[in-house]
Amino acid sequence: MSASTKNRTAGDSAESSSIWQSKWFDTASRFLALIAVFSFFAIMVKEGKFYTARNLENILRQSAVYATAALGMTMVIITAGIDLSVGSVIALTVVVIAWMLNIHWDVIPVGGGETEVVFLIHQWPVLVPILAVLVALLMATLAGLLNGTTLVGQRLVPFIVTLGTMGIFRGVAKLIAHEKDIYPQEDTWIADIMDPTLTSVDPSRSWMLLPPGVWLLLIAAVGAALLLRYTRLGRHIYAVGSNAETARLCGVPVGRTKILVYTLAGFFGGLAGLMQFSIAGGIGAPTTAVAYELHIIAAVVIGGASFSGGEGSILGSFIGALIIAVLYMGCQLMLWPKSVQEIVIGVIIIQAVALDQFRRRRMALS
Amino acid sequence: MTSTEPLISIRRITKRFPGVVALDGVSIDVAPGELHAVVGENGAGKSTLMKCLCGVIADFEGEIRLDGRTVHFRNTTDAEAAGIGIIHQELNLVGQLSAAANIFLGREKTHGLGLLNDRAMAADAAELLRQLECEVHPGQLVRDLRVGDQQLVEIAKALSLRAGVLIMDEPTSALTETEVQRLFRVIERLRGRGVTILYISHKMDEVFRLADRITVLRDGRLVDTLDRRQTDARRVTHLMVGREIAASSASGSSADGEVVLEVRNLSLPRPGHAQKWQLRDVNLRLHRGEILGIAGLMGAGRTELLECLFGASPETPQGTILLEGREVAFAHPAAALKAGVALVAEDRKRLGVFANLNVGQNVTMGTLDRVAVGGLISPKRERAAALGPIEQLDVKTAGLAAPITSLSGGNQQKAIIGRWLLTRPKVLLLDDPTRGVDVGAKAELYRLMDDLCREGLGIIVTSSELPELLTLCDRILVLCEGHPTGQLTRAEATEHRIMELATQRPGVE
């Protein structure tokens, strides 16, 4: 009705009138924000310590855990939901991996069983880490499925369900680990997937260019972006978040879409857990990744997703995760005390979103 | 009346939004005590002008004089203090609060220590509501009230402010005929008290019934201010749209095609409520190429009936639904879609539009399986599919990638109808499709419905405007409180007859 909405155009194609309103520009502006934050620390941190190859790689490694979990969180937030349990899912994955790695030492003593699985494990120890990864990812995915089925089946708000499962999954992780850190008896490749490559002391790793975990993230991110952009499920995700009632009338299986989204969030949480296992030094600590959900949500929101649903993008969230990682790394290298770091980052998250909203409102008017 | 000094004098107001001039040098004088109608198509600038007048928009060029003095309202509170109240088209009430709490929201009466004086507020609210012949108890939660009663709560709120000027922005758009009649009585009473009313509408019958003078806006400009007694609806409509509108002549084929949809003894229970049935023993037959109208007051079960036929009702209906002779029971709208039933729901904002998606994505949402290959959406096929109805229905849009919210109400509605036509339905259910759509677009929608039923579609339509049903429908089924009270053919149907049936209370169970 009002002229302000009537003349709003923000198309993303050749039909669109202005480049300033395109989705391309939206992403570019986020990228500029990343460069701005980066430049700030590059200038402020003395002796050029911030932009060393080692530090750049560190930033990538740091952001990988957040970015991977943010893939699922992006989908969840697009459906107007939230997943508070992802930090606990990461911890659960880390613990399950460590527990599985010790399976032929503690759990199934040598010569203790006769089943085929046990036989296989003892014959080919190389299978153990593969099995560990698969079981851990399966657990994480099931955790996500539990979130989805509970909130759809019992018609509960995602905030409440995942607030509950945040405690439950953390509890299960502690239960498996008997409230102690699990130290795997052998070093495996899983512990190395996030180790430095280009800046590694071991020159044999440099051919990979990036740590394998970062490659894994890139593949997962491309997959998630394609899913959102080009599949029916992706379109359903946006539809459910934009207007769930109308989506139902259009024949969209709203409940099933939500269950799938939370299940995927669990899976991506598992992948993030795999990376966290390596970053944390290959130890199965049930107390790891505490409050990660908040960083991950912050990354998604800085990336342009809206809590009211229907908006958000993988690339945006990816940039958001990088911004968070740069902030943490920068604050550390500035040698600010932890307390100051936390305050600074908190303020920046709020102001980043405020700026974003201000920009959008201006765009909506023009 | 023109001899007196104007109470409100709007002098050359211009309001620019980035990229568009919403109001362009509009000047209007409003005499004290008059009912001044402001008419125009959607986007003509009516609402923007009223927002300037009541402080919602504070930065505009030009000036407003109230009682001869220039006023600057920085916000609505300033305007309220000066005695200007507004009843917005979309009501501004807090659903979770009681009627009394809403009336005194922001100006709560208190005891000494800042504790709320609920009793005094309830008493005053009761008195205000009584004056408006509103049977609402002040303690009732606003969200439990019908739209018509909610509106009266808003009016009561404006009265409690002792508003000398009341702006009403399309107040009848969501009301039933009885509620409209009650509103008109309230308006007469307010005028009797000397309240000056600015009445925004695009319904000619209302304007000509109520107004002393009529101001016509078009594209943000003042076209003319006319004395009601010296003009007629045809002329005003002409000024509004800038062109003559052919009197809608949707004749309807009324050919007796085969029965495409039959409903036998359809009942919809209402769990845990004194009135046990939302619908009771509804029978109907819809032929191919026929437009069947469903008439009834608000709460008569029009929307519920359409929801049942589309598998979208919260409770499971009882009875039999036959689609092309075969019995169907839709558990989910997806099943109804597949079987060839489509529903254009009542509230476009809530149940029609995906505000975050673009025009193309909005159009293809019901038919993704057809543009997708193995779960992957083919952009090329999607584009081709969306372009079809966009062109067929002449939706005015900057392109498929334009946000749906950039379209006018009428074009949004056409895009949504296009979405459902893509599903190639046999039966099209339209729930009040012309609500909030301007005159020109309405005529286009009528023509569209006519074309569709010529192509053999069966259409069931509801409307909150009786004349619309009378021109469109081959037959009209009238509901009252969920019970069918009669069925009229085109020849039998008159506004009077329908109202009789719609208010004929069925025997209490």
User: Which residues in chain A are contacts of B220 at CB distance < 8 A?
Assistant: 3
Which two structure tokens, joined as six digits, stand for B23? 């109001």
Measure the N-to-C terminal CA separation of chain B; round to a whole number of Å.
55
Amino acid making up residue A59: I
* pLDDT score, position B144: 84
pLDDT digits (tens, 9 = 90+) for A142-164: 999 999 999 999 999 999 999 99
Residue B122, CA atoms < 13 Å, CB-side half-sphere: 11
SS3 readout for B390-411 = HHHCCCCCCCCCCEHHHCCHHH
**pLDDT band at A85; cut points 50, 70, 90:** very high
Residue A231 has its nearest CB partner, among B352, B376, B400, at: B376
Collapsed DSSP state (helix, strand, coil) of residue B81: helix
Residue B369, pLDDT > 50, answer: yes
| Contact across the interface for A249 and B351, Cβ inside 8 Å | yes
Residue B42 has its nearest CB partner, among A1, A4, A11, at: A1
User: Which residues in chain A are contacts of B47 at CB distance < 8 A?
Assistant: 1-2
User: Which residues in chain B are contacts of A235 at CB distance < 8 A?
Assistant: 361, 365, 368, 377
pLDDT digits (tens, 9 = 90+) for B104-127: 887 888 887 778 888 888 999 999
Neighbours of B78 (CB within 10 A): 15
| Contact across the interface for A242 and B355, Cβ inside 8 Å | yes
| φ, ψ dihedrals at B101, nearest 5° | -60, -35
Tokens 């669109």, located at residue? A16
Whether residue A265 contacts residue A158, with contact meaning beta carbons closer than 8 Å, is answered with: no
**pLDDT band at B422; cut points 50, 70, 90:** very high
| Contact across the interface for B345 and A246, Cβ inside 8 Å | yes
Contacts of A67 (CB under 8 A, 6+ apart): A217, A221, A299, A317, A318, A321, A322
Neighbours of B390 (CB within 10 A): 21
Nearest CA in chain A to B348: A246
pLDDT digits (tens, 9 = 90+) for B156-178: 888 888 888 999 988 887 677 77
| Contact across the interface for A235 and B356, Cβ inside 8 Å | no
Give me the count of residues in chain B: 509
Whether residue A21 contacts residue B401, with contact meaning beta carbons closer than 8 Å, is answered with: no
Which two structure tokens, joined as six digits, stand for B209? 């019934």
User: Is residue A10 situated within a structural domain?
Assistant: no
* pLDDT score, position A73: 97
From the candidates A243, A254, A359, which should be mutated to test the interface with B, based on the most B CB atoms within 10 A?
A243
Whether residue A304 contacts residue A311, with contact meaning beta carbons closer than 8 Å, is answered with: yes
CA separation for the pair B461, B445 (Å, rounded): 12
Neighbours of B314 (CB within 10 A): 10
User: Is residue A316 situated within a structural domain?
Assistant: yes
* pLDDT score, position B247: 41
Closest listed residue to residue B437, CA positions, set B418, B463, B419? B463
Residue B399 has its nearest CB partner, among A11, A239, A249, at: A11
User: Is residue A315 situated within a structural domain?
Assistant: yes
Give me the count of residues in chain A: 366
* pLDDT score, position A357: 81
pLDDT digits (tens, 9 = 90+) for A172-209: 999 999 999 999 888 888 888 888 877 777 777 777 78
Amino acid making up residue B266: L
Residue A230 has its nearest CB partner, among B350, B376, B399, at: B376
Q: What is the mean pLDDT of residues B90-94?
A: 80
Work out the mean pLDDT of chain B and round it to a whole number: 85
| Contact across the interface for B399 and A13, Cβ inside 8 Å | yes
Nearest CA in chain A to B306: A249
Residue A365, pLDDT > 90, answer: no
Work out the mean pLDDT of chain A and round it to a whole number: 86
Q: In B321-396, which ranges are continuous DSSP H helix? A: 333-339, 348-351, 359-364, 368-371, 379-392
Minimal C-alpha gap between B91 and chain A (Å):
15
In chain A, what is the greatest distance between 2 CA atoms, to the nearest angstrom? 79
CA separation for the pair B439, B450 (Å, rounded): 17
Q: What is the mean pLDDT of residues B136-144?
A: 87
* pLDDT score, position B505: 61
| Contact across the interface for A232 and B332, Cβ inside 8 Å | no
CA separation for the pair B28, B8 (Å, rounded): 8
* pLDDT score, position B442: 82
CA separation for the pair A85, B501 (Å, rounded): 57
pLDDT digits (tens, 9 = 90+) for B42-90: 667 888 898 899 888 888 999 999 988 999 888 888 888 888 988 887 7
User: Is residue A248 situated within a structural domain?
Assistant: yes
Residue B17 has its nearest CB partner, among A248, A251, A365, at: A365
Domain that holds residue A268: 24-359
Strand pairing class (B427-431; B341-344)? parallel
CA separation for the pair A94, A87 (Å, rounded): 11
If you count residue pairs, one on A and one on B, with CB atoms under 8 Å apart, how many are there? 142
| Contact across the interface for B333 and A15, Cβ inside 8 Å | no
User: Is residue A329 situated within a structural domain?
Assistant: yes
Residue A235 has its nearest CB partner, among B337, B368, B408, at: B368
pLDDT digits (tens, 9 = 90+) for A264-281: 999 999 999 999 999 988
Chain A residues with a Cβ under 8 Å from any Cβ in chain B:
1-13, 15-17, 230-236, 238-239, 241-243, 245-253, 309-311, 365-366
User: Which residues in chain B are contacts of A365 at CB distance < 8 A?
Assistant: 17-18
Q: What is the mean pLDDT of residues B223-236?
A: 87
User: Is residue A7 situated within a structural domain?
Assistant: no
Which two structure tokens, joined as six digits, stand for A11? 């198309």
**Which ipTM did the prediction report?**
0.78
| φ, ψ dihedrals at B37, nearest 5° | -90, 140
Which two structure tokens, joined as six digits, stand for B438? 């301007």
pLDDT digits (tens, 9 = 90+) for A64-77: 999 999 999 999 99
User: Is residue A3 situated within a structural domain?
Assistant: no
User: Which residues in chain B are contacts of A366 at CB distance < 8 A?
Assistant: 18-19
pLDDT digits (tens, 9 = 90+) for B450-495: 888 888 899 999 987 777 888 889 999 999 888 899 999 988 888 7
From the candidates A246, A257, A361, A366, which should be mutated to test the interface with B, based on the most B CB atoms within 10 A?
A246
Whether residue B289 contacts residue B494, with contact meaning beta carbons closer than 8 Å, is answered with: no
Minimal C-alpha gap between B108 and chain A (Å):
31
* pLDDT score, position A108: 58
* pLDDT score, position A366: 52
Selected residue with higher pLDDT from A219 and A116: A219
Selected residue with higher pLDDT from A75 and B434: A75
CA separation for the pair A270, A249 (Å, rounded): 34
From the candidates B344, B365, B397, B421, which should be mutated to test the interface with A, based on the most A CB atoms within 10 A?
B365
Instruction: Specify the pTM.
Output: 0.75
**pLDDT band at A116; cut points 50, 70, 90:** low
User: Is residue A46 situated within a structural domain?
Assistant: yes
Whether residue B461 contacts residue B292, with contact meaning beta carbons closer than 8 Å, is answered with: yes
Contacts of B461 (CB under 8 A, 6+ apart): B291, B292, B293, B294, B429, B430, B433, B449, B469, B472, B473
User: Which residues in chain A are contacts of B52 at CB distance < 8 A?
Assistant: none
| Contact across the interface for A10 and B403, Cβ inside 8 Å | yes
Residue A1 has its nearest CB partner, among B43, B351, B365, at: B43
Quote the number of domains for chain A: 1
SS3 readout for chain A = CCHHHHCCCCCCCCCCCCHHHCHHHHHHHHHHHHHHHHHHHHHHCHHHCCCCHHHHHHHHHHHHHHHHHHHHHHHHHHCCCCCCCHHHHHHHHHHHHHHHHCHHHHHCCCCCCCCHHHHHHHHCCCHHHHHHHHHHHHHHHHHHHHHHHHHHHCCCCHHHHHHHHHHHHHHHHHHHCCCCCECCCCCCHHHHCCCCCCCCCCHHHHHHCCCHHHHHHHHHHHHHHHHHHHEHHHHHHHHHHHCHHHHHHCCCCHHHHHHHHHHHHHHHHHHHHHHHHHHCCCCECCCCCCCHHHHHHHHHHHCCCCCCCCCCCHHHHHHHHHHHHHHHHHHHHCCCCHHHHHHHHHHHHHHHHHHHHHHHHHHHHC
Residue B402 has its nearest CB partner, among A11, A232, A241, at: A11
Minimal C-alpha gap between B133 and chain A (Å):
31
Residue A12, pLDDT > 50, answer: no
* pLDDT score, position B2: 46
Nearest CA in chain B to A229: B377
**pLDDT band at B16; cut points 50, 70, 90:** confident
**pLDDT band at B347; cut points 50, 70, 90:** confident
* pLDDT score, position A111: 55
